[in-house]
Amino acid sequence: MFSAHLINDPFGDPGVYIEFKYRRSALLFDLGDLHSLNPRKLLKISHIFVSHTHMDHFIGFDYLLRVCLGRDRHIFLYGPPGFHEQVENKLRAYTWNLVENYQNDFALHITEVHPDCKRVRLYRCRTAFQPEEEDPAEIFNGTLVEGSYFSVRGVFLDHKIPCLAYRFEEKNRVNVMKNVLQEMGIPVGAWLVDLKDRILGGEPDDTPIRIWRRHEGKEGEERFMSLGELKSSVVKITPGQAITYVTDAVYSDDNVKKIVELARASEILFIEATFLHEDADKASQKYHLTAFQAGKLARMAGVKRISLFHFSPKYKGSGEILVEEAMRAFKD
Ligand SMILES: [Zn+2]
């Protein structure tokens, strides 16, 4: 279970924050101005997917670094060709002479994505963010993350430069039927997260699950039930949802095909709608989509909902006309 929302208003810098409920964890698409996210929210982020490094998509890097410094955090960042050098240039802009004494382990795992391969470099705060030896390149077949409860895919779009669009997919949803728990006299509590992880991880039915709850700050009584027993009585498993994030792309046959394929049947498509369709020439010169094109792509992909962003400042004060245009094309 997760929630997903734009971090700024549609005229502000692009960015989508996906937060997992019941886990202290979140993902971020794009790294523009992040000041709308408070440090508590920023510190939940484990993975960040940068579409490209135009300033409005990458200026938040410094703020993120500032908030995470001195914390035990490992953050995984993904970006297009040239990403390592750009991250390194940002890191080199500061003096790091005192960090070797830090107690904690803050590290950045940076994946530079190329059309055919992924290259990962590690940068640790304690070694002044000097790049560590790079792992051998891995083949890139579209998948960037394949986790136990979510996966993320990426595809290169044409924005006059390579620009990554992303699809986040939740693995199956494990819904706990609290009324059944209550009837069975089983307490709700943190053990349910462990149960869900084990179900999603495909563990065998005879795995013992420890059921416990905290009572007055202490761990109270515990009992054990098998995973199979719990799976058949207290949970309902439904397919997970997908979220797609598309920004900064020209409306071309190739981009259309890739976007429709990536966004297929998403719960929400977050998509740029930079210009009105009457300014389609300008949109194509600047390698952006119009609101009409965004709505049409959403319809072609059969998504459930759209969320529009990256509005050009020329429409400031009348963002609703961009929304109306996109919605007309979406629902048509
Ligand atoms: Zn942009």
Count CB-CB contacts under 10 A for residue 126: 15
- Return the pLDDT at 24: 87
| C-alpha of residue 56 to centroid of ligand 1, in Å | 6
Distance 247 CA to ligand 1 centre (A): 7
Residues 151 and 249 in one domain: yes
Q: Is the pLDDT of residue 216 over 80?
A: no
End of a domain among 238, 264, 285?
Answer: 238
Residue 332 has pLDDT above 80, yes or no: no
Q: What is the pLDDT of residue 149?
A: 86
| Whether residue 91 sits in one domain with residue 19 | yes
Question: Do 145 and 288 have their domain in common?
Answer: yes
Query: At residue 137, what are phi and psi to the nearest 5 degrees?
Result: -60, 145
- pLDDT level of residue 95 (50, 70, 90 thresholds): confident
pLDDT (mean) for 20-32? 92
CATH number of residue 94's parent domain: 3.60.15.10
Q: Identify whether residues 305 and 157 lie together within a single domain.
A: yes
Domain boundary among 185, 214, 238: 238
Distance 219 CA to ligand 1 centre (A): 50
9 and 87 co-located in one domain? yes
Rounded average pLDDT over 247-267: 97
Round the average pLDDT of the chain to a whole number and report it: 93
What is the percent of the chain where pLDDT is above 90? 77
Tell me, in angstroms, the distance from the centre of ligand 1 to residue 103's CA. Answer: 38
Return the CA Rg of the chain: 22
Give residue 303's pLDDT. Answer: 98
Q: Are 166 and 25 in contact (CB under 8 A)?
A: no
By the 8 A CB rule, do 89 and 78 touch? no
Total structural domains within the chain: 2
Average of pLDDT values for 130-147?
A: 92
Does 244 or 239 have the greater pLDDT score?
244
**Looking at residue 261, what is its pLDDT?**
98
pLDDT score recorded for residue 135: 85
Together in a domain, 47 and 93:
yes
Which residue carries 């986040």 as its tokens? 168
pLDDT digit string (tens) for 185-202?
Answer: 888 888 898 898 888 888
Tell me, yes or no, whether 17 and 131 share the same domain.
yes
Q: Give distance in angstroms: CA of 234 to centre of ligand 1.
A: 46
State yes or no: pLDDT of 23 exceeds 90.
no
Q: Which domain holds residue 69?
A: 2-171+240-331
Do 109 and 183 share a domain, yes or no? no
Q: How far is the CA of 165 from the centre of ligand 1 (A)?
A: 12
Pair (198, 254) in one structural domain: no
Contacts of residue 209, defined as CB under 8 A and 6 or more positions apart, other chains included, come to 191, 194, 195, 198, 224, 225, 226, 227, 230
pTM (2 d.p.): 0.89
Q: Are residues 136 and 25 in the same domain?
A: yes
Residues 152 and 232 in one domain: no
